[in-house]
Amino acid sequence: MSVTVRVPAKVNVQLAVGGARPDGFHDLANVFLAVGLYDEVTAAPADGLTVTCAGPDAHQVPLDHSNLAARAALALAERHGRTADVHLHIAKDIPVAGGMAGGSADAAGALLACDALWGTGASRAELLDICAELGSDVPFSLVGGAALGTGRGELLTPLEVGGAFHWVFALADGGLSTPAVYREFDRLWEGRDVPVPEASPALVDALRTGDAAALAATVTNDLQPAALSLFPSLRATLAAGEAGGALAALVSGSGPTTAFLAKDAESAHSLADALRASGTCRAARVAASPAPGATLL
Ligand SMILES: C[C@@](CO)(OP(=O)(O)O)[C@H](O)COP(=O)(O)OP(=O)(O)OC[C@H]1O[C@@H](n2ccc(N)nc2=O)[C@H](O)[C@@H]1O
Ligand SMILES: Nc1ncnc2c1ncn2[C@@H]1O[C@H](COP(=O)(O)OP(=O)(O)O)[C@@H](O)[C@H]1O
């Protein structure tokens, strides 16, 4: 018997970043929106803990115990005083190291799958607690939808979404390391006071009313200058999306994936074609939001 969980990617429609904290993390006002690009994590009985991965980016995913899915299984097993006997298979469709929280999705998926396989019966609160230990983005991968993440992004307040938003994601050649992007953010702000991060009421309202034009007018990403500084060719991708009719163009989280908000599903498809034709990205993917969080199939 095996258990499969489907988990979405995310885009940050607002990523307000404060100054570095003494623990090295940054306080955030992080408005997450789950998008319909998914990884699937399957947990099957095994002796010991093994990980396999399939998909276009699979060769970039570690298969040892540093894999976030493996770490999730180990954390759950440890809490319940059992050995992590499980084979985890990741069917990976979320770009790796792309600022779309693919590793976090796999961690949340493995946690839910192992809980079901082992019958550990962890409460939602315990699962969220383990998620927060594994990474700042992991709790959101579990809950999906839309949420404001405060603290380092792990403290979630669900947000209402009043309609579908249509996105195009342009995949870049290569990845960006999240810690490197935060370090570049610190370097760019050196000697200046970083404002306290706060969620934008206009943006929260745009999500609530499902108004794409209003959302486009309010999206922001404070990590974007740092990502562009480390990956300057993303400017050409952003410009190509704007020329192709995007309502808004921004770097997704720490990048290097870029996100383009379209007026509707049809415009998203023509925008994806324009991005592919521009030669400024490795691939363009269409996806709608919001998407549900980690779900047992
Ligand atoms: C930037 C964001 C936006 O949602 O995601 P990505 O775009 O990378 O997916 C997140 O803040 C990434 O969250 P996540 O990838 O879970 O980061 P973690 O594993 O918790 O931390 C990795 C490293 O990122 C930096 N970090 C992360 C979160 C935070 N609030 N402040 C930080 O400074 C720290 O250097 C930390 O050591
Ligand atoms: N299950 C996993 N899937 C993808 N990457 C993983 C996984 N486990 C660990 N990693 C490592 O985490 C890094 C960041 O991956 P990912 O979560 O895809 O990107 P991001 O943090 O930009 O959203 C990868 O480069 C990889 O080395």
Q: What is the tens place of the pLDDT at every residue in 252-283?
A: 999 999 999 999 999 999 999 999 999 999 99
For residue 98, report the distance from its CA to the centre of ligand 1, in Å.
12
Task: Please say whether the beta carbons of 142 and 293 come within 8 A.
Answer: yes
ipTM for this prediction: 0.98
- Distances in Å between the Cα of 102 and the Cα atoms of 94, 200, 220, 245 are 5, 26, 21, 27
Q: In whole angstroms, what is the distance from residue 107 CA to residue 121 CA?
A: 17
Q: In whole angstroms, what is the distance from residue 283 CA to residue 262 CA?
A: 17
Q: In whole angstroms, what is the distance from residue 140 CA to residue 231 CA?
A: 26
pLDDT digits (tens, 9 = 90+) for 181-191: 999 999 999 99
CATH 3.30.230.10: which residues of the chain?
Answer: 3-158
Side chain identity at 71, as an amino acid letter?
R
| Residue owning the nearest CA to atom 19 of ligand 2 | 97
Kindly give, in sequence order, each residue whose CB lies less than 8 Å from that of residue 84, ignoring residues fewer than 6 positions away: 48, 49, 70, 73, 74, 76, 77, 78, 114
Is the domain 3-158 a CATH 3.30.230.10 member?
yes
User: Does residue 9 have its Cβ closer than 6 Å to ligand 2?
Assistant: no
Burial tier of 121 (Cβ tally within 10 Å: 0-12, 13-18, 19+)? exposed
- E strands, 59-216, where? 86-91, 146-150, 155-158, 165-171
Q: In whole angstroms, what is the distance from residue 91 CA to residue 40 CA?
A: 5
Percentage of the chain exceeding pLDDT 90: 99
CA of 107, closest atom in ligand 2: 1
What is the pLDDT averaged over residues 46-55? 98
Task: Please say whether the beta carbons of 226 and 181 come within 8 A.
Answer: yes
Active site residues: 10, 137
User: Does residue 72 have its Cβ closer than 6 Å to ligand 2?
Assistant: no
Q: In whole angstroms, what is the distance from residue 247 CA to residue 200 CA?
A: 18
User: Does residue 137 have its Cβ closer than 6 Å to ligand 1?
Assistant: yes
pLDDT digits (tens, 9 = 90+) for 14-39: 999 999 999 999 999 999 999 999 99
Topology, domain 165-289: Alpha-Beta Plaits (3.30.70)
Q: How confident is the model at residue 223 (pLDDT cuts 50, 70, 90)?
A: very high
The whole-chain average pLDDT of the chain stands at: 97
CATH 3.30.70.890: which residues of the chain?
Answer: 165-289
Could you give the count of Cα atoms lying within 13 Å of 215 in the half-sphere of its Cβ? Answer: 30
User: Does residue 102 have its Cβ closer than 6 Å to ligand 1?
Assistant: no
CA of 223, closest atom in ligand 1: 1
